[in-house]
Amino acid sequence: MPLAHINGHDMYYEVLGSGEPVLCMGGWGTFCHENHHHLARGLTDRWQVVLFDYRGIRDSGDDLSVPSTMALHADDAIGLLDHLGLTRVHLVGLVGMGACIAQEMAIKRPDLARSMLNTGAWCEMDPFLRDQLEMFRWLHRDAGFEAFQKAVTLLSFTPEYYNANHTKLLGPEGGWKELNGRYPAHSRLIDACVGFDSRSRLGQVRCPTLVLHAALDQVTSPRTTLPIEHGIPHAIGETWDDLAHVVAGKEQKIRFARRLFDWLSST
């Protein structure tokens, strides 16, 4: 099991494929272990893909005495890339937290960031987003994991996709399964999310940046993603009219993989 002592904790990580390095980070979960199928199909055939478990998730440890911030998670990821001797890395941040970590990394260590992609993200908290994230916290704490899982799933997919796939989206092997039985770890991830604010610092980002705006996203809509595009010099933005919080369904996944590969190749 690949573990490295990074930034005061034991971090589980995986490196797949070969080629130019790409760091992939998602939301409140992991692409590691049995979750490789959530990566864009064909990504590991063309690039060297670096993945890791966030603090307290699966096989990564945590130090509960250290406040959980997005800067802490960014320092974890930076420490891992330094440990692996990687520079000029494509930062792919998907579905919320991973995108925010990518922003912090691009600001803190421009030497590491070859390019950046953000989806489902924000650069500052407004009351609507903050209260949604706090709702997920108290649902998990007071009503249990299953209630949280159903609520976040309902807000993350289109009604059509949910109706056709709810049996596989819910349950022990469904979405956000890494948080099942790990409320304290989830709460600390939420701490990092609600405390994150990069809007005044986005002008420091120097790498080419692509921001996807999901028109149907009920959590991080263009309301929260457009300020990222506008705040980063020369950033490119695209609005997908049929996209909710999570890229889902065969057609969307193929389209996303093609756009991602075009982006990585062009930068």
Does the pLDDT at position 95 exceed 90? no
Res 173: pLDDT: 92
- Residue that is written with structure tokens 């520079």 in the block: 87
Is residue 94 within 8 Å of residue 24, measured between CB atoms?
yes
Q: What is the pLDDT of residues 163-194, one digit of tens each?
A: 999 999 999 999 999 999 999 999 999 999 99
Specify the DSSP element, H or E, that contains 212.
strand 209-214
pTM surpassing 0.85? Answer: yes
Percent of the chain with pLDDT over 90: 97
Q: What is the pLDDT of residues 20-51, one digit of tens each?
A: 999 999 999 999 998 898 899 999 999 999 99
Specify the DSSP element, H or E, that contains 228.
helix 222-231
The C-alpha atoms of residue 48 and residue 97 are separated, in whole angstroms, by: 22
Which residue spans within the chain are E strands per DSSP? 3-6, 9-16, 21-25, 48-52, 89-93, 113-119, 209-214, 236-240
Q: What is the pLDDT of residues 103-148, one digit of tens each?
A: 999 999 999 999 999 999 999 999 999 999 999 999 999 999 999 9
Give me the domains of the chain, ranges plus CATH numbers.
3-123+198-266 (3.40.50.1820)
